[in-house]
Structure 1
Amino acid sequence: MYLLFPGRHHVLTAYQADFLREAAPAGTTVVWAVTSSNHHTTKRNPIPFDRREAAIERFSMATGLRSLVVGVTDTPPTDDFAEVTVKAIEAGTDDAVRLSPENTVVACSTPEVAKLYERLGYQVIGVEPEGVARPWDVLLMIAAGNDEWRSLAHPATVDVFDRYRLDAQVRRCVNDPVVGDDGGLTTTRDYKTYADAFETAADRKWAQIKDFVRPGRILDIGCATGATLQLVDGDPRFHESDLIGVEVARHLYAECVHKKEQRFFDNPNVYFYQRNMLGAAVFPPRSIDTTLTLALTHEIWSYADGSRAETVQRFVDGLFAHTAPGGVWINSDVCGPAEPDRPVVLALDDSDGVNAEPVELESLADPAAHVRTLSTRARFFQFAQDFRRNARVPFAYTLQGRHPVLRLADAMDFLTRKDYADNWLSETHEQFCGLSFADWTTIAQSAGFTLDPSSKPWRNNWVITNRIAPVASLTTPDGDPVDWPDTHQLLIARRS
């Protein structure tokens, strides 16, 4: 006979031990279906499967239960959840365990999930009655720093949490202001598009920065798919260096781990962390020789919790703290124009698509398809609506005839993003032009860095020539042409 116990099982409680002793008499095997087993370091699933499995095994030994632990891969919400779980157990035990309503009782306290098993004919018994703390309640106590969790959790969980410092990991994941429930920056981001873009741009970015990289411990923050570290790995100058990638988005981090497993790297000293660098320090003081931030710092600015300026300064202060004497921070990213508040008139093509009014894109089945139909001018007004809401910026403009009049920085924020239809809703959370190169220089110097003379703002002329100039122009309110401003920066910051 089997007792099926589905759940995420991040925390095991003392109450569950008493319950299972009663519900699983001699001869019964408790089948722990650990759901979302492929997720970890997210708000919804902060604890890795191997740590959860270790606690369950210790719990089973302490309580005298005969247990089987099977990981169930995360699935989108589905009415077939119960059937999927039963099949996953069959596959996870090589068909040695076949659950059926005739040989299995299900233990579950979530009414919606219980109904799915009942629909298949299983008898379901509740676990925690009203008034008893459930595992997620205990986990939230850990996240809040409330030590009462120790009196509610089973000693097996307490032991594993203490040995692996999982309480700190729970606090970091659950309280993270940037990362969503499933480990992404936004729920609308198409990570395949992002991954493809990072892979394509890696060679160009490496050519720009490679002469400034110092051997030793080389850290790539926001490493995406690990493409840049692959190029570092292929450079003989760095064959004895440690290569370290930090990526906050679960989807991209998983690709980094996959590459390492598939031996994309020759250097054995390649390590990946899934971590938000805005939290506690990840690396010891003065321990990193080169830090790379490629297409990252505008995200630090955009997703800041509270004061954006203070968040960015705190981030750069942290970079300086972990940089070794003689080390370098290399920042390649977008930036705002030198005169962000300069008023400009933005003339936009209205013949290259449909001139529709802004809509609520979230209500559409395919927002990207709608954006692609819009003219450049119509995209401006759609962008204004979405950018104000998602990026929490004023984006003020008036009309001079049919043409918007606005800040130069705001005009460039639109022009540099107008073609990002696939990730429109995600991209409108981000502000490319929040800080100018002069602003980034001040931040780096305030942290203690000295700027290398090679540091500079620059203009992506390919984008201007091929994407922007054919459909847009800038003039002063008096009608004088305005040159296209710088769009990017290369900042080489050294610690003496």
Structure 2
Amino acid sequence: MYLVIPGRHQLITQFQFEYLSSLIKNGLYHVKDVDGKELQINEPVEAIIFPVTSANHSNTRRNPLPFYLRAISIEAMAAELNVPVYIYGIDDVGSLSNFASYTLKRIKHESDGKFDCTAQNSLIICSTPVLKLYQSLGFNILPAELSDVTNWKYHSLMPWDIVEQIAASAKWDEDESIKAAMHHSSYNVWKKYGVGEKVKLLFTDHMIGSDGDLTETRDYNVYVRQMDDIAELKYHDTSSYVQPGRIGDIGCAVGSWMKLACKDERLRESDFYGIEVSRHLYQICQQRKENGEFQNPFLFFSQKNAVTGLVYEQGSMNTIHTSSLTHEIESYGSREDLLKFIKNRYEELAPGGVWINRDVVGPKNKGQEIYLWLNDGDGNNADPFMQFGDRNELSHFLQSLSTYARFLRFAKDFRKKEGYIVKFEEVTIENKLYIKTSLRNASEFLSRKDYTDNWESEMHETFCFWDFEEWKAQLSAINFTIHSSSHSFRNEWIVNNRWKGKAELYSMTENQLAQVDYPETTMILIGVK
């Protein structure tokens, strides 16, 4: 009889070890299942199988340990049992109603058919609601820590309970209650590889979700295409400022900028270090590297959060590049997070090193009162506040709206969760309708109005919180010297393809409207240490 223990297995508890030891030593005849039924199985335990779920996830709050560390811990514990133990990684495939069936099929596949686990030859050990998936397949369930399945009460700490205790403990490795609850195999792995400290950072990180992403509403297929499409433009804008040596790209997305940098003959002797916090994008970077898409082999990717601390050794980097990142820190984190990010980059640079930050920027005089004309004839003016459960349906609807109607939807959705209010009023001057608002609000709308594919995600992001002079002042306050080539500018392609004929900006001077230029969109800010 096989014992199958599905789970993420971030650590092994002392209870789990004693539970398995008892089943092996005393047999299965008088063992009761999760419903209290005595199984009366005469067969001995032939093998124990650990399907480790979310094996392709690591460095996230939900899955802090990579698969290999989880496997090391299980293998070390298994050496103390008297039956063979087998470990198989099961990739995360999202929420599947038939995940139990998928897991069993993966075990069969990974074991080359050695283990075809059925309700006749296997028992499932599970104490979470996942057990219901295996029950539906006819398996008997051994409850382990679970004392009452009707109310999900437990008589022993679950592994995740201990993970949370570690995250909350000042010195987890000296906490006797934690040490007693963990099996020493897991304790040794956690201590040796510094996992406890990593867990503390992950659990205190308020920007990143439990699965390692800034936002759950981004369509990554669209996002990846956009990153690749504009990579050459971004590299052209920044390449002349890159110093050879140790070159880092923080928020490297899918590695598009680094791919071009690796081709640059001037940088052929350099080492490249890509940092990406999003689990999904980090995995794409790793896959691209395996595919041989980067010419320089001295390229290393890491999944880290550059806000919570240094991602490079202090004083080690000649160039740090960031693109379209700093506004996301302000958007999904806080002003404190952004200031911490700036300071961290200064600390990581070697003397004379440069931080090249290419990002959106707010307009000069962003508090100025603006009269915004918006085209109401370039689409329909149906109820702009209609709700859709499907992202694609919402995108198609938004694309069908006129620029004016889309602004009304923007004003309702923009940073609503963050408590931001888009103040505006509609005024009619000489039979023409205008939106009276601040230049900042007008710029936020213009910069965002065409991002309908990822509308829900984009509505969390702010572009115009600092103008260029404010950005320079913040870097100077950290002791950066501002490179003379730093500048802000207006993307004329955006003006010609997205704004002209759609929107016009006016100011009121002596009771007369005077047209004003479209705002700046982009900055290249170079801080020198």
> Does TM-score exceed 0.5, indicating one fold?
yes
- Match of residue 301, structure 1, among 317, 321, 330: 330
Equivalent residue letter for 2:138 = G
Identify the residue that residue 151 of structure 2 maps to in structure 1.
none
- Structure 1 contact 337–486 (Cα < 8 Å) conserved: yes
Equivalent residue letter for 2:521 = T
Is 1:114 the counterpart of 2:113? The answer is no
Greater shift in the superposed pair: 353-362 or 240-249: 353-362
Is 1:287 the counterpart of 2:284? The answer is no
Give the SS at the match of 2:314: coil
Give the SS at the match of 1:19: helix
Give the SS at the match of 1:106: strand
What is the Cα deviation at residue 391 of structure 1? 4.7
- Structure 1 contact 216–242 (Cα < 8 Å) conserved: yes
- Structure 1 contact 338–436 (Cα < 8 Å) conserved: yes
Is 1:330 the counterpart of 2:356? The answer is yes
Matched ranges for 1:121-160 at <5 A: 121-129=138-146, 130-145=154-169, 147=172, 148-160=177-189
- Match of residue 463, structure 1, among 487, 491, 494: 494
Identify the residue that residue 35 of structure 2 maps to in structure 1.
none
Identify the residue that residue 246 of structure 2 maps to in structure 1.
217
- Structure 2 contact 388–394 (Cα < 8 Å) conserved: yes
Distance in 2 (CA, whole Å) between partners of 1:364 and 1:258 is 29
Give the SS at the match of 1:278: coil
Identify the residue that residue 425 of structure 1 maps to in structure 2.
456
Greater shift in the superposed pair: 178-187 or 207-216: 178-187
What is the Cα deviation at residue 76 of structure 1? 2.1
Distance in 1 (CA, whole Å) between partners of 2:506 and 2:104 is 65
What is the Cα deviation at residue 364 of structure 1? 4.5
Is 1:207 the counterpart of 2:233? The answer is no
Is 1:18 the counterpart of 2:23? The answer is no
Matched ranges for 1:1-16 at <5 A: 1-16=1-16
Identify the residue that residue 312 of structure 1 maps to in structure 2.
338
Is 1:345 the counterpart of 2:371? The answer is yes
- Match of residue 443, structure 1, among 446, 463, 474: 474
What is the Cα deviation at residue 392 of structure 1? 3.7
Give the SS at the match of 1:245: strand
Give the SS at the match of 1:476: strand
Identify the residue that residue 113 of structure 2 maps to in structure 1.
95
Equivalent residue letter for 1:139 = V
Equivalent residue letter for 1:425 = E
Equivalent residue letter for 2:321 = L
Give the SS at the match of 2:5: strand
Distance in 2 (CA, whole Å) between partners of 1:388 and 1:172 is 27
Is 1:237 the counterpart of 2:266? The answer is yes
What is the Cα deviation at residue 123 of structure 1? 0.7
What is the Cα deviation at residue 359 of structure 1? 2.9
* Distance change in 2, residues 1:361/1:65 (3 Å): farther
Identify the residue that residue 480 of structure 1 maps to in structure 2.
514
- Structure 1 contact 143–167 (Cα < 8 Å) conserved: yes
Matched ranges for 1:358-397 at <5 A: 358-359=384-385, 361=387, 363-364=389-390, 366-397=393-424
* Distance change in 2, residues 1:54/1:426 (3 Å): same
Identify the residue that residue 40 of structure 2 maps to in structure 1.
none
Distance in 2 (CA, whole Å) between partners of 1:12 and 1:411 is 55
- Structure 2 contact 327–463 (Cα < 8 Å) conserved: yes
- Structure 2 contact 487–524 (Cα < 8 Å) conserved: yes
- Cα displacement string for residues 430-457 of structure 1 (whole angstroms, at most 9, x for unaligned residues): 0011111111101111111111111111
Greater shift in the superposed pair: 17-26 or 232-241: 17-26
Equivalent residue letter for 1:133 = L
After the TM superposition, list the runs of 4 or more consecutive aligned residues in structure 1 that deviate by more than 4 angstroms: none
- Cα displacement string for residues 148-191 of structure 1 (whole angstroms, at most 9, x for unaligned residues): 42221111111111111111221222332111122221111011
What is the Cα deviation at residue 27 of structure 1? 4.1
* Distance change in 2, residues 1:360/1:157 (3 Å): farther
Distance in 2 (CA, whole Å) between partners of 1:239 and 1:13 is 49
- Match of residue 55, structure 2, among 20, 28, 37: 37
Long gaps (5+) in structure 2 = 28-43, 147-153
Name which one, 1 or 2, has greater alpha-carbon Rg. Answer: 2
Equivalent residue letter for 1:158 = Y
Long gaps (5+) in structure 1 = none
- Cα displacement string for residues 182-222 of structure 1 (whole angstroms, at most 9, x for unaligned residues): 22211110111111111111111111111110011000000
Greater shift in the superposed pair: 201-210 or 473-482: 473-482
Distance in 2 (CA, whole Å) between partners of 1:441 and 1:372 is 37
Equivalent residue letter for 1:325 = P
Greater shift in the superposed pair: 118-127 or 214-223: 118-127
What is the Cα deviation at residue 407 of structure 1? 0.9
* Distance change in 2, residues 1:354/1:149 (3 Å): farther
Greater shift in the superposed pair: 467-476 or 365-374: 365-374
What is the Cα deviation at residue 352 of structure 1? 1.8
Distance in 1 (CA, whole Å) between partners of 2:422 and 2:59 is 35
* Distance change in 2, residues 1:63/1:96 (3 Å): closer
Equivalent residue letter for 1:452 = H
Distance in 1 (CA, whole Å) between partners of 2:72 and 2:386 is 47
Give the SS at the match of 1:143: helix
Give the SS at the match of 2:527: strand
Identify the residue that residue 186 of structure 1 maps to in structure 2.
215
Greater shift in the superposed pair: 462-471 or 349-358: 349-358
Equivalent residue letter for 1:115 = K
- Structure 1 contact 213–290 (Cα < 8 Å) conserved: yes
Identify the residue that residue 273 of structure 1 maps to in structure 2.
302
Identify the residue that residue 404 of structure 1 maps to in structure 2.
435
- Structure 1 contact 358–385 (Cα < 8 Å) conserved: no
Greater shift in the superposed pair: 14-23 or 175-184: 175-184
Distance in 1 (CA, whole Å) between partners of 2:5 and 2:45 is 16
Equivalent residue letter for 2:143 = G
Greater shift in the superposed pair: 131-140 or 212-221: 131-140
Distance in 2 (CA, whole Å) between partners of 1:52 and 1:196 is 34
User: Could you say what the CA RMSD is over the residues aligned between the two structures, in angstroms?
Assistant: 1.5
